[in-house]
């Protein structure tokens, strides 16, 4: 009876997943949603990052009901990418799942057995007898992963770069700081922090030039994005020279902005949307003064 119940539950989950895949295919189909059909890998990247942070926020707040919804939104991103890839003949959601399943079996020889792990592609010599030790599990996992990376590196074209050691799978601010730090090891860096002030001015001027391009110029938006990225990279490395973590600095600024804006809302006799620029600036200055103990700002 228990086995039959488990089988029914698995079928239900499989059916629901298949329904989600079918819905995504319909949305991207000829008679689907115009917005969904217009999206590309590049256009929805920012939503993937946003949904990931919302999942983390729900976990930190222990908001389980919200987490259920956010996990669904994150899964939607996976389905979206897979459907776009299938539309372009690159890969399918089936291949995504197959790759995931093989990886899980490959990296868990202590659960599925060494033979199954090897059949799934494991070439590392590890001891599957972990005796309930999570430390041994992690050691085996890292060894298997190391061999996998070595095999991929051996089949990859081109020579290795000093920057290959900097993971791309991290917040862009952190990646920028680590890239600058790595490059500095071979002397490719600004001599001191004051030199970056000049570089900030230079990048700002280039951003202004890009923004002032004719709006009908097809490369304008790409140039604006590129120049803004250059400016942000320079500012992040300014922080590195000053011993300041850009991510933490920005999170601090965000927190101060939230607090000050809330004071603006509470102090205003009218809705902020009805105020002019001068009135808003006066409220901002007042909010900064009332929260002066939290540090400098704008």
Q: If pLDDT is split at 50, 70 and 90, which confidence band does 6 have? A: low
| Closest CA relative to residue 240, chosen from 199, 190, 205 | 190
Per-residue DSSP letter, 122: -
Quote the CA–CA distance of 241 and 176 in Å, as a whole number: 13
pTM: 0.60
CATH topology of domain 2-91: Helix Hairpins (1.10.287)
Q: Where are the domains of the chain?
A: 2-91, 102-158, 163-244, 248-294
- What average pLDDT score do residues 30-35 get? 94
Per-residue DSSP letter, 191: S
What is the overall mean pLDDT for the chain? 87
* Residue 138 pLDDT: 82
46 vs 85, more confident? 85
pLDDT at 41 over 90: yes
* Residue 296 pLDDT: 43
For the domain made up of 163-244, the CATH class stated in words is mainly alpha
- What average pLDDT score do residues 209-230 get? 94
* Residue 131 pLDDT: 79
C-beta atoms surrounding 275 within 10 Å: 16
Q: If pLDDT is split at 50, 70 and 90, which confidence band does 297 have? A: very low
């Amino acid at each position: 009876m228990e086995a039959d119940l488990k089988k029914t539950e698995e079928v239900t989950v499989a059916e629901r997943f298949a329904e989600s895949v079918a819905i995504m295919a319909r949305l991207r189909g000829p008679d689907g949603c115009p917005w969904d059909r217009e999206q590309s890998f590049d256009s929805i990247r920012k939503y993937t990052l946003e949904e990931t942070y919302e999942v983390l926020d729900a976990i930190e707040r222990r908001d389980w009901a919200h987490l259920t919804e956010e996990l669904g939104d994150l899964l939607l991103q996976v389905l979206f990418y897979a459907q776009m890839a299938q539309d372009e003949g690159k890969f399918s959601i089936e291949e995504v799942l197959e790759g995931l399943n093989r990886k899980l079996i490959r990296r868990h020889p202590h659960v599925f057995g060494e033979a199954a792990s090897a059949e799934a592609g494991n070439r590392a010599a590890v001891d599957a007898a972990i005796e309930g030790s999570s430390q041994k599990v992690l050691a085996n996992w890292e060894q298997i992963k190391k061999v996998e990376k070595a095999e991929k590196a051996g089949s990859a074209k081109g020579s290795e770069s000093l920057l290959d050691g900097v993971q791309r799978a991290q917040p862009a601010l952190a990646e920028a700081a680590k890239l600058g730090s790595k490059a500095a090891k071979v002397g490719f860096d600004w001599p001191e922090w004051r030199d970056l002030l000049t570089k900030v001015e230079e990048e700002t001027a280039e951003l202004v030039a890009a923004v002032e391009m004719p709006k009908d110029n097809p490369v304008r938006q790409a140039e604006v994005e590129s120049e803004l990225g250059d400016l942000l990279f320079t500012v992040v490395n300014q922080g590195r020279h000053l011993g300041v973590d850009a991510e933490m600095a920005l999170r601090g600024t965000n927190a101060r902005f939230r607090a000050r804006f809330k004071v603006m809302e509470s102090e205003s006799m009218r809705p902020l949307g009805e105020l002019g620029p001068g009135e808003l600036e006066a409220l901002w200055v007042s909010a900064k003064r009332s929260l002066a103990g939290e540090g400098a700002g704008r």
